[in-house]
Each structure stands twice: as structure tokens, then as C-alpha cells.
Chains A and B, each alone.
Chain A
Amino acid sequence: MDSFCILFRKAPYGTIGAAEGLRHLIAAAGMMAARAILLDDGVYLAKRGQEPGDSGWVNLSQTLEKALTDCRADPSCQLHVYVHEGSLKERNLDPAVLVSGVELADDDQVATVIAEARRMLIF
């Protein structure tokens, strides 16, 4: 597969979307080069300091960070997670609040990643 991408557009916890996207991203990264774009409310997935407590949810930002950390330790793993700068700005989120390992991307870079993706899942 040339390029596989998952687009996250929904905030975590409000719906199953972000959790499902993350589950699929981690599985994909074990099988192929995978990219993800966090766009619109999807950028909240990468916000550090989430405390789902006893809600029953796993901590999704921690899970994302661990996936990126694990991937960095595995030379065969190719996983990139891009966070759309414009969506951060619209939500008054400073990039400093994001988990480590994610990459910032402007409009043109997001467009390029989408254009390069031969297959894409949207959550």
C-alpha cells in the first residue's frame, strides 16, 4: 500500500470515534506505514493531561503517546501523527500542551498528507 492515513475529526470521549480511530491506527502501524491527521476537534486527542478517572475510558492521549514512543523504539515501525495548527489556534490550544511525538502541520502540509494517502479511514 502506498500510503495509509487515518483522519481524526472528533474529540475524545464524547463519541467512540477517537478511540476507534486510535485502535485502528495502532493496529495499522503494526502492519504498514501509517499516518494520522488530527483535525478540527480531533486535535483534542493529543492534549496532554486527560483524566478519564473511573469513567471506564482508557486515557486516550496517553495511549497515543505510548504508541508513538513504542514506534520510535522499533526501527520497522513507521507512524506519524500530524496535528493541524489551524485547528489548535481556533481552539486556543498551545502546541506545548500536546503529548510528545506528534508533529505540527499547517494547511498545506495537511493537504499534502491527504493527497498522498492512497487509502484513508475517517473517524
Chain B
Amino acid sequence: MEPEGPVSHKTLTIFLAATPYSGEQASTAIRLGRAAINAGHRVSIFASADGVYGFTVGHRAKGLPNAETGFGDLIARGAHVELCGSCLATRGLKRESLLPGADPSSLEKLFRLIRESDVLLTLGE
């Protein structure tokens, strides 16, 4: 969907700390990200704590929104995704188990993203 009329390009940063299937937060992040991209805005997602599970591969979610598919589509459409590196290590998640384009990051990079964003949204448990 193309943006309707002239838009002021903003950057939405979503801080996601919720697991992909225990609630609606991951699905909300995907839908908000999709809507923002459709409106011509930039989207960044920083996943922390159990939020990193949404960016692993091999999900077999049926009958509910598939986080892997949803986040993969967002990345393909230009969303910038970073994952808390120590959170990945804590959970034993290695790079090969992550969606392409979802890269391990750091708190320093998180605060840089926050500085550069126009809107910061927290979606946690």
C-alpha cells in the first residue's frame, strides 16, 4: 500500500520485551510496524529479554499470528531490527537461529536508536 498524500517521515522505535505467543504484544508490534511503513515512516525494533524469541527461525505457529513470518516481512520491507546481545546469550540463542536481518546488539546501540527516534513505544509483558 502506498502512502496517501505527503507525509512527514518519522522514525518509530518499538522496544519489545514480550514473548511472541504469550500475549498480543509481538502481534501488535508487527501490525504497528506494518502500518508505520505503509504510511512512509521508518521503523526500528529493539527486542530485549524474552522479546528476542520473536526473531528466531522455525516457528510452527498455526491459528495465531506467526511472529517469524510477521517480523520477517517487516525486515524485508526495511524495518531495522536489533536484538539485545546479552539476552540472546542468556537464552543460549546463537546467530544461526535468528532471522536474517535481526542482528545482536548492545544497550549502547539501543540508546542511540532511542536518541534517533521520534517516537518510542514499549511493548512488554
Q: How far is the CA of A17 from the CA of B110 in the complex (A)?
A: 17
Indicate which residue in B108, B114, B124 contacts A1 across the interface (CB closer than 8 Å). Answer: B114
Known: A20-B17, A20-B49, A121-B15. A27 touches B111 (CB 8 A): yes
B107 CB within 8 Å of chain A: yes
Within 8 A of B (CB), among A5-48: 15-17, 20, 23-24, 27-28, 31-32
Indicate which residue in A1, A15, A28, A121 contacts B125 across the interface (CB closer than 8 Å). Answer: A15
* Inter-subunit contact A119/B114 (CB<8 Å): yes
Nearest neighbor of A34 in chain B, beta-carbon distance:
B111
Q: How large is the interface on B (under 10, 10 to 19, 20 to 34, 35 or more residues)?
A: 10 to 19
* Inter-subunit contact B111/A122 (CB<8 Å): no
Can you list 12 A-B pairs with a CB-CB distance of less than 8 A? A16-B49, A17-B17, A17-B124, A23-B107, A27-B108, A28-B111, A31-B108, A31-B111, A32-B111, A119-B117, A120-B120, A122-B122
A4 CB within 8 Å of chain B: yes
Q: How far is the CA of A24 from the CA of B107 in the complex (A)?
A: 7
B59 CB within 8 Å of chain A: no
Q: How large is the interface on A (under 10, 10 to 19, 20 to 34, 35 or more residues)?
A: 10 to 19
A123 CB within 8 Å of chain B: yes
Say how far A85's CB is from chain B's closest CB, in angstroms.
24
Q: How far is the CA of A69 from the CA of B117 in the complex (A)?
A: 31
Given A4-B114, A20-B17, A27-B108, 20 more pairs with CB closer than 8 A: A1-B114, A1-B115, A4-B111, A17-B17, A17-B125, A20-B48, A20-B49, A23-B107, A24-B107, A24-B110, A27-B111, A31-B108, A119-B117, A120-B120, A120-B122, A121-B15, A121-B120, A122-B122, A123-B17, A123-B124
A27 cross-chain contacts in B, Cβ below 8 A: 107-108, 111
B115 cross-chain contacts in A, Cβ below 8 A: 1
